[in-house]
Structure 1
Amino acid sequence: MEIREFLDLSHIIPQLYSTDKTQALRDLSRRASIALGIPQETIFNAITAREKLGSTGLGQGFALPHARIEGLDRFFGLFARLGRPIPFEAADEKPVDLIFFLLIPASSVVNYVTVLASIARRIRDQDIAKRLRQTDDPAVLHALLTSGPEEV
């Protein structure tokens, strides 16, 4: 499954201002709730339950919070570039400024671990990460996340 299949241009947030991890996850849950028509608390509770199993802060300033959601009929992604890095309990203990928020249908038969891996590979690419941090143009951010290197 390609990132472009579940990340819309309208779900790119070029400047998200949050003071901490909880506020960022709550804001992203609210935005997903509006887009999907699923209660914000359902999304937030699933995301925070997953975070309790271990932080999704993967290091290098990047986090990939994700959860399976009952009633969701398709994968759904949001990408946020934070206005200021925040602590996220990341593996390398560095603050996070890039967040890819992924919701997965609870009934999905797609191996979502491969989807998580493809997102992580994309954002951990040093050139892509650098370019994501240098622009606040939603179209450019979307292209960096969803296009082949030759297309950006």
Structure 2
Amino acid sequence: MFLTEVLDRNSVAGPVSANSKRNALQIVADLAERTLGAYGLEADAILQGLLEREKLSSTGVGQGVAVPHAALPGLTRMHGVFIRLETPVSYEAIDDVPVDLIFALFAPEDAGTEHLRALAKVSRILRQKELREQLRQVDTADALYALLNRTETSHAA
């Protein structure tokens, strides 16, 4: 699985302003609705899926990164959304560091191991310190998308 298979240019935004974890997840859900709306999914349902998953444990994986995810009815393939926040928000991350980089994944309800592999890949890519620093320096969604795309192709082997 390549990030470019789940993440299209219209699913990337930043820098955006959020004042809480819930507000950040609402922004993710609103952005996701642009592509997931084709499956009949609205932002409210997407947000509920994310919040239900967060009840289990925080998806803040550390170093200012969160990888929220949800299995949603009607999806036929994996979809992703990436946002960079202007200012980090408290996210109950494993290292207690506020989050400003959020890569959300949405999977079909029966995705199984495909969902787990996608989560592992996103986490691996965002563990790269240099990439995180670059993502925090750029000021447009196009630049964010280009960085994620370039990183993927340079690490595809």
Q: Could you tell me the TM-score, scaled by structure 1's length?
A: 0.92
Residue 32 in structure 1 maps to residue 37 in structure 2: no
CA gap 1:109/1:51 in 2 versus in 1, 3 angstroms: closer
* Partner SS for 1:111: helix
2:91 aligned partner, one-letter code: F
1:5 aligned partner, one-letter code: E
1:125 aligned partner, one-letter code: Q
Runs of 5+ consecutive residues of structure 1 not aligned to the other structure:
none
Residue 116 of structure 1 corresponds to which residue in structure 2? 119
Residue 5 in structure 1 maps to residue 5 in structure 2: yes
Percent identical across equivalent pairs?
37
Residue 19 of structure 1 corresponds to which residue in structure 2? 19
Residue 144 of structure 1 corresponds to which residue in structure 2? 147
Residue 72 of structure 2 corresponds to which residue in structure 1? 69
Q: Distance in 2 between matches of 1:7 and 1:149?
A: 17
CA contact (8 A) 1:83 1:97 kept: yes
* Aligned residues: CA RMSD: 1.7
Residue 61 of structure 2 corresponds to which residue in structure 1? 58
CA contact (8 A) 1:123 1:145 kept: no
Moved more, 77-86 or 106-115: 106-115
Per-residue CA distance 1:89-138 (angstroms, 9 max, x = gap): 00000100100011111132552111111111111101111111111232
Q: What stretches of structure 1 move > 4 A for 4+ residues in a row?
A: none
Q: Distance in 2 between matches of 1:95 and 1:149?
A: 28
Moved more, 31-40 or 81-90: 31-40
CA contact (8 A) 2:78 2:115 kept: no
* Partner SS for 2:83: strand
- Number of positions where the alignment pairs a residue of Structure 1 with one of Structure 2: 151
Q: Could you tell me the TM-score, scaled by structure 2's length?
A: 0.89
